[in-house]
Structure 1
Amino acid sequence: MKPGKPTIVVDADACPVKAEIARTGKQFGVPVLMVSSYDHLLVPEEGVDIVQVDRHSQAVDLYIVSRVVRGDIVVTQDFGLAAIVLAKGAVALSNQGQIYDDRTIGYLLDRRHEQAKRRRSGGRTKGPRAMTEEDRRHFQQKLTKVLLERQENSEP
């Protein structure tokens, strides 16, 4: 993969902004790879490759980790996957538009661990709130910003 031409790799199982990703990828001429389990229906379209993997709980993550290279952009809401792709030199972006980085990922992983402990002991935690149109616009603006920065940094 050439350093100037990233791929947008999407953890697509529960991603609510697939249409925004496809549209933005097409606008920038950047290929999009959506990865999901066979349990989810993804419709192929121009500029978007689709890979479907086994139903195993980590199959999508393992495929993405094996595929991602430095400079790619990964869209995921999975903090563990985000931490791994950051270590590989990829950009990690949540489907809410949060750019994960080395400063924030440790805190997010700790918080996830604490919430899992609370749930195992019978406690409750809040799930993510519903996506709004404003959330979708915010995500698309962040993805556009990341792609513009990649474009500027790859020019001679």
Structure 2
Amino acid sequence: MTTLYIDADACPVKAEAERVATRLRVPMVLVCNGGIRPSANPFVTLKVVPDGPDEADKWIAAECGAGDVVVTSDIPLADRCLKAGAQVIQPNGEVLTLANIGGRLATRDLMQDLRAADPFLQGKGGGFGKAERAQFLQSLDRVMAAAMRAV
């Protein structure tokens, strides 16, 4: 059975993902270090992991597998989930695959090095509005349908 895992601590599309999971009748697991209110939705489970760096990532990577879908903006976590056989989508709707994750990891590492060399270098993060949420919903529908067919 397909499960939808959400790297929930900083995820801006939890409500949209919950609507899709409910419509498709797929279990959804919100994974966080705490501070998120449990949902009354019977399809949604809240998994609170211990405090510490990457504890949520470790738990998701250990639990996900073929036929599952993971929503995360964490590139190293996405890489681990893809290698476990899960499908990965970012909150902006971009689908990550084994074919494109290598470039994303390299870009992430480069930017991390640049920020370390110049602490005043800031990212150019844009806003997150209706267009980004719509893109996420379209992509999630497509990815969930593919994952459910694969099971």
In structure 2, C-alpha distance between the alignment counterparts of 1:81 and 1:153, rounded to whole Å: 22
Partners of 1:115 and 1:125 within 8 A in 2: no
Local SS of the residue matching 2:147: helix
In structure 2, C-alpha distance between the alignment counterparts of 1:130 and 1:12, rounded to whole Å: 19
TM-score, normalised with respect to structure 2: 0.92
**RMSD, aligned CA:** 1.4
Code of the residue aligned with 1:74 in structure 2: it is V
Identical counterparts, % of pairs: 28
Partners of 1:11 and 1:36 within 8 A in 2: yes
In structure 2, C-alpha distance between the alignment counterparts of 1:120 and 1:153, rounded to whole Å: 42
Q: Is the aligned partner of 1:35 residue 2:24?
A: no
Gaps of 5+ in 2: none
Which residue pairs with 2:71 in the alignment?
Answer: 75
Local SS of the residue matching 2:92: coil
Shift in CA distance, 48/83, structure 1 to aligned 2, threshold 3 Å = same
Give 2:93's match in structure 1, choosing from 86, 97, 101: 97
Partners of 2:87 and 2:147 within 8 A in 1: no
Which residue pairs with 1:148 in the alignment?
Answer: 145
Gaps of 5+ in 1: none
Residues 98-138 of structure 1: CA deviation (Å, up to 9, x unaligned): 11011211111001111111111125131532211111011
Paired residues in the alignment total 149
**How far off its partner does 1:7 sit?**
0.2
TM-score, normalised with respect to structure 1: 0.90
Residues 86-107 of structure 1: CA deviation (Å, up to 9, x unaligned): 0010001101111101121111
